[in-house]
């Protein structure tokens, strides 16, 4: 192969960064991507918002298209004029459980070599699963459901996965600031296991009540992060999301990765289709093996067997297949908030 054609792997994390992550439970890397790497995803999402707005306009539900506004403000105006229309567009992007939008540019970010190089450093594994659920988060200004209470991501997962490391990669598509509601993180408490959660938090999210937190919220780290950066967290790192008091949407995506040897449903299918009739019984027997069985896992990187890495076509097929199967979410292991 000519020298000019040699593939150069993106830089991994440094030893110092990796050590910081495992000690603190989080790591903010401000330059994982060039900000322009995220432009195609923003553009594809903008097209989805426009298409849904025009559909609502044609049906007579939406009076003004507000196409004169930029992507970071258009949905804000639509929501302000009609909460119902705003929620319809947001649900279109989010899907049943988050991550309904599965455009090709989203797939490219999930599989982006710059991101996977960093994830590989943290997992210590070249064999990587894109884990269960990814979430697209349009956090609009001054709406209640944009405020996410204190929780650990493992609180939403199967209990047997608490002992396994899953990496959350929170990718802001705009600069994440205190003003537009960046996350707060409690450091150095991720090695103490799962904390007591309750159901019935704000917008029906799970919540760790202040008395059950291992530290005072006043000790939290403010996770401001520029566009192009990534906030990495463990699945046992407590964090919350603060109100957006700006005039624009805090667009973000959070992705999850785990080593291929941890519990997952890669290769299993929840219901019959033309290609996977024989696999339905396997999934029925192993329905709870994944950390979040309602969503599809993908082999996203394999140095040993690259031919088995998920393609975009298979990514879409599994997303749609799991969505249509309407599988139950993990069994609830938490009690309701005491009133």
Q: Please check whether residue 329 lies inside any domain of the structure.
A: yes
pLDDT of residue 97: 52
Among 39, 42, 80, CA closest to 63: 80
Residue 199 burial (10 A CB sphere; 0-12, 13-18, 19+)? middle
Whether residue 10 contacts residue 31, with contact meaning beta carbons closer than 8 Å, is answered with: no
Please give the tally of structural domains in the chain.
1
Per residue, the 3-state secondary structure of the chain, as one string, reads CCHHHCCCCCCCCCHHHHHHHHHHCEEEECCCCCHHHHHHHHHHHHHHHHHHHHHHHHCCCCCCCCCCCCHHHHHHHHHHHCHHHHHHHHHHHHCCCCCCCCCHHHHHHHCCHHHHHHHHHHHCCCCEEECCCCEEEEECCCCHHHCEEEECHHHHCCHHHCCCCEEEEEEECCCECCCCCCEEECCCCHHHCCCCCEECCHHHCCECCHHHCCCCHHHCEEECECECEEEEEECCCCEEECCCCCCCCEEEEEEEEEECCCCCCCCCCCCCCCCCHHHHHHHHHCCCCCCCCCCCCEEEECCCCHHHCCCHHHHHHHHHHHHHHCCCCCCCCCEECCC
pLDDT of residue 313: 94
Q: Please check whether residue 298 lies inside any domain of the structure.
A: yes
Q: Please check whether residue 75 lies inside any domain of the structure.
A: no
Q: Please check whether residue 95 lies inside any domain of the structure.
A: no
Q: Please check whether residue 172 lies inside any domain of the structure.
A: yes
Q: Please check whether residue 40 lies inside any domain of the structure.
A: no
Which tens digit of pLDDT belongs to each residue from 229-255? 999 999 999 999 999 999 999 999 999
pLDDT of residue 327: 77
* Domain CATH number, residue 25: 2.60.120.620
Query: How far, in Å, CA of 28 to CA of 17, rounded?
Result: 9
pLDDT of residue 294: 84
pLDDT of residue 8: 77
pLDDT of residue 322: 84
Residue ranges in the chain modelled with pLDDT below 50: 1-5, 98, 277-278, 280
pLDDT of residue 331: 72
Phi (first) and psi of residue 28, to 5 degrees:
-110, 120
Query: How far, in Å, CA of 170 to CA of 135, rounded?
Result: 9
Q: Please check whether residue 163 lies inside any domain of the structure.
A: yes
| Residue ranges making up the domain that contains 176 | 11-35+102-336
Q: Please check whether residue 313 lies inside any domain of the structure.
A: yes
């Amino acid at each position: 192969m000519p020298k000019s054609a040699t593939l150069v792997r993106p830089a991994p994390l440094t030893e110092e960064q990796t050590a910081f992550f495992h000690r603190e439970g989080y790591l903010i890397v401000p330059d994982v991507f060039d900000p322009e790497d995220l432009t195609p995803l923003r553009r594809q999402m903008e097209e989805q918002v426009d298409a849904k707005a025009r559909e609502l306009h044609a049906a007579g539900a939406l009076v003004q298209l507000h196409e004169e506004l930029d992507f970071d403000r258009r949905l804000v105006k639509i929501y302000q004029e009609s909460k119902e229309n705003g929620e319809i567009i947001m649900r279109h992007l989010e899907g049943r459980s988050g991550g309904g939008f599965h455009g090709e540019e989203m797939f490219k970010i999930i599989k982006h070599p710059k991101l996977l190089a960093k994830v590989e450093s943290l997992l210590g594994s070249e064999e990587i699963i894109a884990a269960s659920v990814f979430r697209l988060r349009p956090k609009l200004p001054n709406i209640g459901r944009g405020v996410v209470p204190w929780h650990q991501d493992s609180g939403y997962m199967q209990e047997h996965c608490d002992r396994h490391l899953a990496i959350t990669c929170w990718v802001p598509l705009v600069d994440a600031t205190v003003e537009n509601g960046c996350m707060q993180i409690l450091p150095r408490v991720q090695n103490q296991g799962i904390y007591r959660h309750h159901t019935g938090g704000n917008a029906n999210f799970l919540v760790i009540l202040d008395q059950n937190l291992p530290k005072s919220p006043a000790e939290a780290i403010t996770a401001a992060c520029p566009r192009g950066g990534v906030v990495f967290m463990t699945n046992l790192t407590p964090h919350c999301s603060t109100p957006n008091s700006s005039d624009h949407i805090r667009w973000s995506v959070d992705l999850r990765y785990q080593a291929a040897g941890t519990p997952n449903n890669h290769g299993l299918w929840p219901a019959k289709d033309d290609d996977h009739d024989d696999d339905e019984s396997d999934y029925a027997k192993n329905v709870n093996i994944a950390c979040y069985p309602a969503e599809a896992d993908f082999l996203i990187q394999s140095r040993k067997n690259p031919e088995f890495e998920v393609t975009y076509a298979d990514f879409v097929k599994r997303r749609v297949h799991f969505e249509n199967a309407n599988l139950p979410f993990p069994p609830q292991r938490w009690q309701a908030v005491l009133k």
